[in-house]
Structure 1
Amino acid sequence: MLPSHALTDVSSTALGLGVSLAIGLLIGLERERNKHMGPMQAQAGVRTFPLLGLAGATACLIGDTAIYAAALFVTAVAIASYVRTNEKDPGVATEMAMLMTFLLGILSMSSPAFSAGLGVTVAILLASKYRLHLLSRKWLSGTELHDLLILAAASFVVLPLLPDRSLDPWDAFNPRRLWFLVVAVMSIASLGYLAMRALGTKFGLPIAGVASGFVSSTATIGTMAERARGTPSLAAAAASAAVISNVGTVAQLGVVIGLLSQALLRHLALPLLAAGSAAIIAAISTSWKSWNSGHDAAALAGERPFKMRAVLGFVSLLGGIMLASAILRSYLGKASLPWIMAVSGFADVHAAAASAAQAVSTGHIDLQQASWCVLAALASNSSLKCAIALSKGPQGYALRVVSGTLGVVAGFAVTLWLV
């Protein structure tokens, strides 16, 4: 009978060999379906790729010399495959798949789970050739691709390089947290934009309103007011989009608060949910028929996922108000914070909420004080929205927007009081 450690070695070796074989079969099946017919057909298929995976695993068992020799052989085979097929298929996807299968076979002997995940990813990429080509050439415009690359750079290049600590004596300015807000705003706006593109005009109106609300609900209400005044037949539809933009405001409040203070987000989860639900109900009751009326939702949402200058301006305003609030709080005391938040809310409710959340995370105020600060900021910001709707839009539009916006504040306040 074999000792336990020998049984463990045998089982791990068998697992690695099995994973390398499974990866080769999966990639080989995909390549087999994409072979060119006739004498110029691709060399590698459902038999070659499993052998490549097993070759990598076997070379790993033998040692470094075998890995180097097998790598040279696989490279030579890949070059020969490309030379034979480059006239009809100048791409190198099959040759790269051969190399990846060999490398994943080696990796499967030490990290079978990780190797299996990468193998599935490779197979999905290969099978999605036509969809990815359609996405890059027809579905995405140059501007949209540019914005996507900016989002990727902001997320994976800039964010990891920023220090995760406060740089000021008031514990208000944390570069990584602020830049995380930049990434969050861009991501949310992009998701809303892509959802509108995917769902079309039937559900485009409410989605356009929500997506615009992530950028600026106040600006959305002003834009919709001008559209309603210029085209009275669109008053109900514009009011519906304007009211539902408050959903974007509430959702972004949750993101901003959660990034700075998880405790405050948990405390305000029900009030935020009630406020968002009130906005949805008000938007539906305002003009549910307009959602299927075929209006140009893309014009309401804009022509690109986000504008970098607007996002940076938004987060700069957040950071400035957070810093100013921290300085004023240090001189005027904690009791002044609700009044400071109410004034800040006229400029931007998210900045005021961020200041309250930051104060909670640094221990300067408790959850109850922070909650009333958020309510004060939301109320002052909502009053500004109502004033814009009354001053810019026709009466029918203004009444719908004012009632819906006040319902959002009432839902938040009542739920907060009950909690």
Structure 2
Amino acid sequence: MDSIELELFQILGISLGLGLLVGLQRQHDQSELAGIRTFPLITLFGTISGLLAQHFGGWVVAMGIASMAGLVIVANLIKLRNPPFSPGLTTEAAALLMYAVGAYLVFGDKTVAVAIGATVAVLLHLKKKLHGFVKRIGEKDLKAIMQFVVISLVILPILPDETYGPYNVLNPHNIWLMVVLIVGIGLLGYFAYKVFGQKSGTLLGGILGGLISSTATTVSYARRTKDHNHTSTTLAALVIFIASAVSIVRIIVEVAVVAPGTIATVAPPLAAIFLLMLILGSLMYFFKGDDQDQMPEQGNPAQLKTALVFGAVYAAVMLATAFAKDYLGSSGLFIVAVISGLTDVDAITLSTARLMNIGNLELLSGWRIILTAALSNLVFKAGLVGVLGSRAVFGRVALMFGIVLAGGLLVLWLWPANFILALE
């Protein structure tokens, strides 16, 4: 058997397998239009049409799709005469798409075709879960989705991809791209919160709070401790601490997205701080007892006002970073990191990652600046707890954050990479 025949049988085998996969799901769902026998025939029909089109032209595939549409229409008309039958579009759309997948196997990438076929099967299988998710979405949640669409798919494409302003560092497209990244992470946490509900438990509550906003979570739980009958101080301190630990992971993810080539240098020291926080959080979780609490209602992270504010903060941090580096050198960036980290660690993280990515900042200085901002943010959140929360919760948070702060300073001073830098 030569290579051409082998490839032909491989295409036909993939086509048959994808048809069987989708057909199995439709048969299990008791579809009246097509099942485990019909779908393999549909995908094979698409593949054969593609093979014929190689010799006779693309009109063969076009006639095939027209024939498929006609068969679907006729089948539905016949079944309408035998009630009860409620015609839908899901199986019909799947049939037409699987025909196209069968034809694409001949002309396109087999991996892409397999991915599409598998996605179709998964989407069909998740019908109840997807419908249930849609039912749980309220007007506020739909508004969040639409606002994110505006932020990411309407505003971003029209912004100029050119640099402006002092030091030639303000690029509207790049600035807004960072806005999309931060809002996207927050929106992911927000919808995870909607899926798991308010009774998400202490551990998950802290994780979701860290994804959405660790500062907002700190404020919310600190305030709740003013009423001792509402939230225990140990529980509140634990959620605040978990959210702050997750924010370290969030920083690592942001660096990996913006400057993937730097992650091997930046991630280890930050991961060491996260490991310390993980150990401390585990000890606190073990001693917290059986206290449980509902996670407070989360705000919409995709509000246009919030996005504009972050964009302005990020642009200001970029200017401040360029100014500090120009007049004070790399040491001046630590001052910017401390000030910026007090309110928004994301902005200085993304700005520093960008500088490292374009080669304007040494990697060993970059991770230290980011870690400094993260530690500054912990100090700021501890201050918030002191102002807004009870004395008991402030004592617990101050103790835990104090240990992390000491560990962070040791990492800044003793991390092995610093010795390598000294040797160079």
Per the TM superposition, whether the score is higher than 0.5 is yes
Comparing 397-406 with 287-296, which one deviates more in the overlay?
Answer: 287-296
Corresponding residue number in structure 1 for 2:419 = none
Which of the numbers 17, 29, 35 marks the counterpart of 1:22? 17
Query: Structure 1 vs Structure 2: percent identity of aligned residues?
Result: 27
Corresponding residue number in structure 1 for 2:338 = 342
Specify the code of the residue in structure 1 equivalent to 2:34.
Answer: A
Which of the numbers 86, 91, 94 marks the counterpart of 2:91? 94
Shift of 1:302: 1.5
Is the CA contact (8 Å cut-off) linking 2:266 and 2:366 kept in structure 1? no
Comparing 151-160 with 256-265, which one deviates more in the overlay?
Answer: 151-160
Which of the numbers 138, 142, 147 marks the counterpart of 1:141? 138
The change in CA–CA distance for 1:400 and 1:311 in structure 2 (over 3 A counts) is farther
The yes-or-no answer on 1:382 pairing with 2:378 is: yes
Specify the code of the residue in structure 1 equivalent to 2:226.
Answer: R
Q: The residue matched to 1:230 in structure 2 has which SS?
A: coil
Comparing 88-97 with 371-380, which one deviates more in the overlay?
Answer: 371-380
In 1, the alpha carbon distance for the partners of 2:187 and 2:252 equals: 17
- Superposition pairs for residues 121-160 of structure 1, below 5 Å? 121-137=119-135, 139-151=136-148, 154-155=151-152, 159=156
What per-residue deviation string (whole Å, max 9, x for no partner) do you get for residues 117-146 of structure 1? 222222222233222222222x33333244
Is the CA contact (8 Å cut-off) linking 2:33 and 2:91 kept in structure 1? no
The yes-or-no answer on 1:73 pairing with 2:67 is: yes
Specify the code of the residue in structure 2 equivalent to 1:367.
Answer: L
The yes-or-no answer on 1:405 pairing with 2:408 is: no
Q: The residue matched to 2:167 in structure 1 has which SS?
A: coil
In 1, the alpha carbon distance for the partners of 2:150 and 2:244 equals: 29
In 2, the alpha carbon distance for the partners of 1:105 and 1:261 equals: 39
The change in CA–CA distance for 1:152 and 1:18 in structure 2 (over 3 A counts) is farther
Corresponding residue number in structure 1 for 2:254 = 256
In 1, the alpha carbon distance for the partners of 2:35 and 2:350 equals: 56
- Superposition pairs for residues 178-257 of structure 1, below 5 Å? 178-197=175-194, 204-231=201-228, 234-257=232-255
The change in CA–CA distance for 1:206 and 1:163 in structure 2 (over 3 A counts) is farther
The change in CA–CA distance for 1:362 and 1:31 in structure 2 (over 3 A counts) is closer
The yes-or-no answer on 1:44 pairing with 2:34 is: yes
C-alpha RMSD of the superposition: 3.1
Shift of 1:246: 1.2
Corresponding residue number in structure 1 for 2:276 = 278
The change in CA–CA distance for 1:68 and 1:280 in structure 2 (over 3 A counts) is closer
Shift of 1:293: 2.5
Is the CA contact (8 Å cut-off) linking 2:202 and 2:293 kept in structure 1? yes
Is the CA contact (8 Å cut-off) linking 2:207 and 2:246 kept in structure 1? yes
Which of the numbers 44, 47, 53 marks the counterpart of 1:57? 47
Is the CA contact (8 Å cut-off) linking 1:204 and 1:291 kept in structure 2? no
In 1, the alpha carbon distance for the partners of 2:350 and 2:72 equals: 55
Corresponding residue number in structure 1 for 2:420 = none
Corresponding residue number in structure 1 for 2:323 = 327
Unaligned runs of 5+ in 2: 417-424
Q: The residue matched to 2:88 in structure 1 has which SS?
A: coil
Runs of 4+ in 1 over 6 A off after TM superposition: none
Shift of 1:275: 2.0
Is the CA contact (8 Å cut-off) linking 2:15 and 2:44 kept in structure 1? yes
In 2, the alpha carbon distance for the partners of 1:67 and 1:358 equals: 48
Q: The residue matched to 2:170 in structure 1 has which SS?
A: coil
What per-residue deviation string (whole Å, max 9, x for no partner) do you get for residues 256-313 of structure 1? 333443455432322211222333333344454557433112x1x5265654533442
Q: TM-score, normalised by structure 1?
A: 0.83
Specify the code of the residue in structure 2 equivalent to 1:267.
Answer: T
In 2, the alpha carbon distance for the partners of 1:131 and 1:18 equals: 31
Number of corresponding residues? 406
Shift of 1:399: 1.0
What per-residue deviation string (whole Å, max 9, x for no partner) do you get for residues 83-122 of structure 1? 2345621312222222223222212223333323222222
Specify the code of the residue in structure 1 equivalent to 2:333.
Answer: L
Shift of 1:398: 0.9
Corresponding residue number in structure 2 for 1:105 = 102
The change in CA–CA distance for 1:169 and 1:255 in structure 2 (over 3 A counts) is farther
What per-residue deviation string (whole Å, max 9, x for no partner) do you get for residues 356-414 of structure 1? 33333343332333344334433433332232222332221111111111222222222
Corresponding residue number in structure 2 for 1:39 = none
In 1, the alpha carbon distance for the partners of 2:129 and 2:353 equals: 43
The change in CA–CA distance for 1:345 and 1:106 in structure 2 (over 3 A counts) is closer
Corresponding residue number in structure 1 for 2:77 = 83
Q: The residue matched to 1:32 in structure 2 has which SS?
A: helix
Specify the code of the residue in structure 2 equivalent to 1:302.
Answer: Q
Q: The residue matched to 1:170 in structure 2 has which SS?
A: helix
Unaligned runs of 5+ in 1: 37-41
In 2, the alpha carbon distance for the partners of 1:199 and 1:400 equals: 28
Shift of 1:332: 4.3
Is the CA contact (8 Å cut-off) linking 2:318 and 2:351 kept in structure 1? yes
The change in CA–CA distance for 1:76 and 1:217 in structure 2 (over 3 A counts) is closer
Specify the code of the residue in structure 1 equivalent to 2:232.
Answer: L
Shift of 1:80: 0.8
Is the CA contact (8 Å cut-off) linking 1:203 and 1:291 kept in structure 2? no
